[in-house]
Amino acid sequence: MTVSNFTRRAVVGLIAAVGIAAPAAAEVDFSGKTIEWVIPFSETGGSAKWANFFAPLLSEELPGNPTVVVKFMPGAGSTKGANWFQEQKHNDGTLLFGTSGSTQFPYLLGDPRVRYEYTDWTPVMASGTGGVAYLNAEDGAKFDGSANGLTGVNFIYGSQGATRLDLVPLLAWQMLGMNVEPVFGIKGRGDGRLMFERGEATIDYQTSSGYLKGSADLVTSGAAVPMMTWGALDASGDIVRDPTFPEMATFKEVCEATDGCETSGPAWDAWKAFFVAGFPVQKLAFLPAGTPQDVIDTYTTAFDAVKNRADFADISASRVGKYGVFTGEDAKAALSTATSVPEEAKANVKDWLQEAYGVALK
């Protein structure tokens, strides 16, 4: 089983894309209005940091300079908020919704709680991210670039759920032969970090924005030891080091150094397929169903202006990482990549979810 050629070409095309010129915006004016950007996670996680980073920049570029307020609607691993957004219709262009891989994965896996349909929404911006896994100081001292010294340790991990983006680290740790016991039910990855800080969890992972603004300080203080990133995709679709954390080894490198872990075969192909769906295009901003084209064009033009700012590369590197930002037709292609996984990979992951956690998905 391999990652589909379509998915690989789509992701590689996005990485290499120079962008398509945005259509000219119609006369849309948001003067005096407030735009609500709803995030279906808690205010402590990476999606919150992502939206809070882009919100003031978007405000500067939208006509009339409206106030852009980020609001949070956590619950059920983001499906609560996504189900709510599915019921919203266009009013006046003052509602945005943000998703991440934890919203995409239940959709891909046929989670019965999903009552939303991505194709009903209009993506106006998409961006990639990475992820970093790290250990507490005691167990981190046993890490030598492989997981060989960690296989006898019982780890605790705060998790949003095995069908969410957490399936990427959970599957990776299992492939490494590690015993990681998830505590399910947290509302966002930031809550998992808080469990780690309190000593209630002994292993954690954060997306790049969450790591940069929260977990990196734990590493600096000696309370945490970085283990690995998930990596990034190069122009050939191969996993290489994350450009935001080039000094850290990837999961692929750690797997290659660990006895019994294979970087080929069904388990690896399934992990990589969901990594591709969940990270190179992980976070998306949507307008609701029924939004007219002039409003869509206005948002596209505004997000184009944000990513083309002369200082954008510098300010984004320290806040959300060094990843691509896609708008217009590229955002639509990004959505296709984020919601496309080979059937073989889905079947493999569903079997793993049933065996490991008793989660039965049709």
* Beta-strand runs (E) in 40-153: 67-72, 95-99, 122-127, 131-136
What per-residue confidence (pLDDT) applies to 90? 86
**Amino acid 13: pLDDT:** 52
Kindly report, residue by residue over 324-352, the tens digit of the pLDDT: 999 999 999 999 988 989 999 999 999 99
100: closest CA among 340, 285, 326? 285
Domain boundaries, the chain: 5-129+278-343, 131-274
Q: What whole-number percentage of the chain has pLDDT above 70?
A: 93
Task: Read off the pLDDT of each residue in 138-148 and give the average, rounded to a whole number.
Answer: 97
Mean pLDDT value across residues 193-215: 95
The answer to whether the 5-129+278-343 and 131-274 domains have the same CATH topology is yes
- What is the rounded average pLDDT of the residues 103-109? 93
25-73 pLDDT per residue, tens? 448 999 999 999 999 998 988 899 999 999 999 999 999 999 999 999 9
SS3 letters across 318-345: HHCCCCCEECHHHHHHHHHHHCCCCHHH
Report whether 299 contacts 123 (CB < 8 A): no
DSSP assignment of 157-212 equals: EEES-TTSTTHHHHHHHHHTT-EEEEEE--SSHHHHHHHHHTTS-SEEEEEHHHII
Q: Are 112 and 359 contacting, i.e. CB atoms less than 8 angstroms apart?
A: no
Cβ(164)–Cβ(105) below 8 Å: yes
What band does 132 get if pLDDT is binned at 50, 70 and 90?
A: very high
Express each pLDDT in 245-271 by its tens digit.
999 999 999 999 999 999 999 999 999
Burial class for 317, CB neighbours closer than 10 Å (0-12, 13-18, 19+): middle
Q: Which of 267, 263, 266 has its CA nearest to residue 238?
A: 263
Q: Which residue would you say has higher pLDDT here, 274 or 10?
A: 274
Contact (Cβ atoms closer than 8 angstroms) between residue 275 and residue 354: no
Give the pLDDT confidence score for residue 26 in this predicted structure. 47
pLDDT band (50, 70, 90) for residue 1? very low
Q: Please check the confidence at residue 7 and state whether its pLDDT lies above 80.
A: no
Q: Is the per-residue pLDDT at 14 higher than 80? A: no
pTM of structure: 0.84
Residue 299 has pLDDT above 50, yes or no: yes
Q: Which CATH superfamily is domain 131-274 in?
A: Periplasmic binding protein-like II (3.40.190.10)
Longest dimension (CA), the chain: 63
Identity at 80, one-letter amino acid code: K
206: tokens are: 């954060």
Q: Tell me: pLDDT of 219 over 90.
A: yes
Listed range (32-36, 105-109, 170-174, 223-227) with the worst mean pLDDT:
105-109
What is the overall mean pLDDT for the chain? 91
**Domain at 5-129+278-343: CATH code:** 3.40.190.150
Which range, 136-140, 158-162, 330-334, has the best average confidence (pLDDT)?
A: 136-140
| Residue 12 pLDDT greater than 60, yes or no | no
